Amino acid sequence: MGNKVERFEDLIAWQKARELTLKIYRISRQGEFGKDYRLSGQIQGAAVSIMSNIAEGFERGGLGEFHQFLSTAKASCAELRSQLYVALDVGYIDTRTFQDLRTQSEEVGRIVGGLRVSVAKQKQNKLNRVQVFPNSVLSTQD
């Protein structure tokens, strides 16, 4: 795993969020679901929010900001799952579709959560290096 990620597109979390977003768009444009502009727009927005927050946080360049954006992405996974329950309860999606999308959104949430923990550890390690070498050129701007 020693490869350094240079672009947000290389992050597995972003790739999986992109796949989920595509599925959400496809399913939320069908039948009665597609006519419920409020719910379909909300669930699409939650899906887009996941991948967008991963990308924006990565591009910010600071570990602290990246961690915060990952927290928002993970929360958007929960929002999306909640909206899936609404879609199921009102009959826009069947049980199998619900289960598949819920499972996929849970997977994305776990991956984002794991990335968030990794970023937090990197941030802490960087702070520990600064404390050991307080007069060094290392910055604590994250």
- Cα–Cα separations (whole angstroms), residue 104 to 14, 46, 62, 110, 131: 13, 14, 28, 10, 41
**Model confidence pLDDT, tens digit, residues 105-138:** 999 999 999 999 999 998 888 766 655 444 444 4
**Model confidence pLDDT, tens digit, residues 44-101:** 999 999 999 999 999 997 999 999 999 999 999 999 999 999 999 999 999 999 999 9
- Cα–Cα separations (whole angstroms), residue 22 to 1, 12, 51, 75, 108: 28, 15, 11, 19, 13
Question: Tell me, which fold does domain 11-132 have in CATH?
Answer: de novo design (two linked rop proteins) (1.20.1440)
> Can you give the pTM of this predicted structure?
0.85
Domain ranges for the chain: 11-132
- CB-based contact 39:83 (threshold 8 Å): yes
Confidence of residue 4 (pLDDT cuts 50, 70, 90): confident
pLDDT (0 to 100) of residue 139: 43
Radius of gyration for the alpha carbons in the chain, expressed in angstroms and rounded: 18
Phi, psi of 90 (to 5 degrees): -95, 0
Residues in the chain: 142
pLDDT (0 to 100) of residue 124: 83
